[in-house]
A and B are shown apart, each in its own frame.
Chain A
Amino acid sequence: MTGAVPLLLAVTTHPSWVDVSVFSVAAALVLAGAVGVVVARNPVHSALMLIMTLFGVAVLFVLQRASFLAAVQVIVYAGAIVVLFLFVIMFLGVDREEDVARDPLRGQRPLAVGLVLLGATGLLLLGQVSHWVTGASHVAGVDTGKPNVELLGTSLYTTYLFPFEATAALLIIAVVGAVVLARRPPSGADPEAADGAEEGAPATGAADGATGAATGAPDRADGSATAGPATAGPATGSTGPLAGERHP
């Protein structure tokens, strides 16, 4: 086991300028994408910037010989999660410009910037002066020169078998939760009555979801456009014109 470390060092023998240049490009991608996610006004642009960041992180994974995770990163994150984001953005029709300059909570943004800068500086300083390594290494198996997938699979199915099974339960719960949350209440009823009716007719809820999408959405949007500003005051003032814009 201890002989693994020289072997490991022998594996990564490519010249260091390759490391440096790949790291620089990937880090630039990651940071540019992250800043883009935060500053973009259009949620669709944010999602595309998020893809850029995720690709940069995948490149950094490859650079650190985590090739399986790099593949999973691209497939699961860029391929599934961001597509889900884009799907919801398009589905809800919120892909319009947001008024970033409006600040309902006065002084919250400068405070947030200050706090984040303070925290990040503290973390960087801690990284400079303290020693993170506790000495308890090699708990889950030594990262030898063996293929990354083989190591990961062995560890996952031996040491981490119970957590791995628990993730299966977690995914099932997430699927059930998503189905329950996204189910459309029966159309034609007001939201208060729909809550009660939903319990009585669970089987028809999914069936008339397709037809409810066509008939239910416009009058709901009209209702919120008229009732929104009157009941909720100036905080929801921006939703009125937006809803009216979609369904004139």
Chain B
Amino acid sequence: MTITAGWYLGLSTVLFAIGALGVLVRRNVLIMFMCVELMLNAANLAFVTFARELHDIGGQVLVFFVLVVAAAEVVVGLGIVVAIFRRRASANADDLHLMKG
């Protein structure tokens, strides 16, 4: 028995599903962010798997870019969370129903 690409892609699918479930179910903005990171990691895993499968380094280069974008996204996202928290002391997504703080 060998580990084929299908195993990695299946694991990637399940990881993505868990991340999507977390974004939909949880209310805490920070945990929703972490679940977005889970989904990004699932995509990265699929990219690396295809890079190995197709013998093409492009998949790994794309993972590199995804890492950069994830870092930028987390920085700006957490900045927004801090700014919102300063206006109203809550990190609950249900409380944020106004565009104006």
Query: Chain A: residues with CB nearer than 8 A to chain B?
Result: 4-5, 8, 16, 19-20, 23, 27, 30-31, 34-35, 37-38, 40, 43, 46-47, 50, 53-54, 57, 60-61, 63-66, 68-69, 72-73, 76-77, 80-81, 84-85, 88-89, 91-92, 94, 98, 104-105, 108-109, 112-113, 115-117, 119-120, 123-124, 127, 132-133, 137-143, 148, 151-152, 155-156, 159-160, 163, 167, 170-171, 173-175, 177-178, 180-182, 184, 191, 220-221, 224-225, 228, 232, 235-236, 238-239, 242-243, 246
List 7 extra interface pairs beyond A40-B31, A127-B6, CB under 8 A: A116-B20, A127-B9, A137-B54, A152-B60, A178-B78, A184-B86, A235-B97
Query: Which of B2, B64, B88 is close to A152, meaning CB atoms less than 8 Å apart?
Result: B64
A119 and B23 alpha carbons, distance in the complex (Å):
15
Q: A19-B2, A116-B17, A141-B57 are in contact. Are A181 and B79 (CB under 8 A)?
A: yes
SS of A interface (majority) = helix
Report which of A43, A98, A143 forms a contact with B51, defined as CB distance below 8 A: A143
B1 and A119: CB pair below 8 A?
A: no
CB distance from B51 to the nearest CB of A (A): 7
A123 and B13 contacting across the interface, CB-CB below 8 Å: yes
Docked complex Cα distance between A69 and B41 (Å):
12
Q: Are A94 and B28 in contact (CB under 8 A)?
A: yes
Is the beta-carbon distance between B8 and A85 smaller than 8 angstroms? no
Assess whether B30 is in contact with A142, with CB atoms less than 8 Å apart. no
For this complex, into which size category does the number of interface residues on chain B fall? 35 or more
Residues of B within 8 A of A175 (CB): 75
Selected from B13, B68, B88, B90, the residue in CB contact (under 8 A) with A124 is B13
Q: Are B79 and A178 interface neighbours, CB within 8 A?
A: yes
CB of B66, distance to nearest CB on chain A (Å): 10
Q: How far is the CA of A228 from the CA of B56 in the complex (A)?
A: 55
Give every chain A residue within 8 A of B91 (Cβ-Cβ).
92, 94
